[in-house]
């Protein structure tokens, strides 16, 4: 009887967690690019971006990750047979990868809060796509409920990565021609 409510809450927090993970690298890009501006713009933008990232990270992203995980554990308690299925093992591996990504974002967040810029905006644009790849993999696994043929899966993920990289390069060209884009 609780299952549909727990699943709904899990999905809501999956969405909000991913929203945070999609937006935080974008704020990192803006923060890194703000450091290339002259004073006082650099300090004004940096202070504003620190506040925005802090609010996003601690008010949306972290709570969503925790609640998503708690509801996922609850679902697994309600449906223990899922743990016997190969697709769930693969999904949990991708979720573990997502947590690695989340913790790395947290490390970058802390560095930028201390005004330590260790990455380029180009790196961050590529980094921003990691969560997208994990999302694609997890959604297909959950919907198909199959650890589908890995040859097709790997080819599909690489094709998606190539398309994302081409999109990043295209956007850079557009942006270089028109800095306001």
The answer to whether position 157 is within a domain reads no
* pLDDT per residue as tens digits for the range 21-41: 999 999 999 999 999 999 999
Contacts of 124 (CB under 8 A, 6+ apart): 25, 28, 29, 32
Annotated binding site: 10, 91
The answer to whether position 84 is within a domain reads yes
The answer to whether position 155 is within a domain reads no
Annotated binding site for heme: 10, 91
SS3 142: helix
Per-residue pLDDT at 7: 96
Rounded to whole angstroms, the Cα distance separating 8 from 28 reads: 31
Task: Quote the mean pLDDT of the chain.
Answer: 91
Chain centroid offset of residue 99 CA: 9
Q: Are 87 and 40 in contact (CB under 8 A)?
A: no
Per-residue pLDDT at 149: 62
| Residue range(s) defining the domain that contains residue 43 | 3-148
Q: Per the structure, how many domains does the chain have?
A: 1
Confidence of residue 147 (pLDDT cuts 50, 70, 90): low
* pLDDT per residue as tens digits for the range 47-83: 999 999 999 999 999 999 999 999 999 999 999 999 9
Taking 80 as the threshold, does the pLDDT of residue 155 lie above it? Answer: no
Tell me what percent of the residues of the chain surpass a pLDDT of 70: 94
Confidence of residue 133 (pLDDT cuts 50, 70, 90): confident
The answer to whether position 178 is within a domain reads no
Average pLDDT of the residues in 86-104: 93
């Amino acid at each position: 009887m609780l299952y549909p409510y727990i699943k709904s809450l899990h999905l809501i927090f999956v969405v909000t967690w991913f929203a945070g993970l999609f937006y935080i690298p974008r704020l990192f890009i803006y923060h890194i690019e703000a450091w290339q501006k002259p004073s006082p713009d650099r300090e004004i933008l940096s202070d504003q971006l620190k506040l925005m990232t802090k609010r996003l990270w601690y008010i949306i992203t972290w709570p969503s990750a925790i609640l998503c995980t708690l509801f996922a554990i609850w679902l697994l308690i309600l449906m223990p047979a899922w743990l016997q299925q190969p697709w769930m093992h693969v999904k949990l591996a991708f979720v573990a990868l997502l947590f690695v990504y989340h913790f790395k974002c947290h490390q970058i967040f802390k560095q930028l809060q201390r005004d330590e810029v260790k990455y380029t905006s180009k790196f961050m644009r590529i980094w921003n796509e990691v969560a997208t790849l994990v999302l694609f993999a997890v959604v297909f696994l959950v919907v198909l409920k199959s650890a589908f043929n890995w040859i097709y899966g790997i080819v599909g993920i690489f094709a998606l990565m190539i398309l994302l990289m081409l999109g990043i390069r295209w956007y850079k060209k557009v942006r270089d021609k028109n800095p306001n884009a």
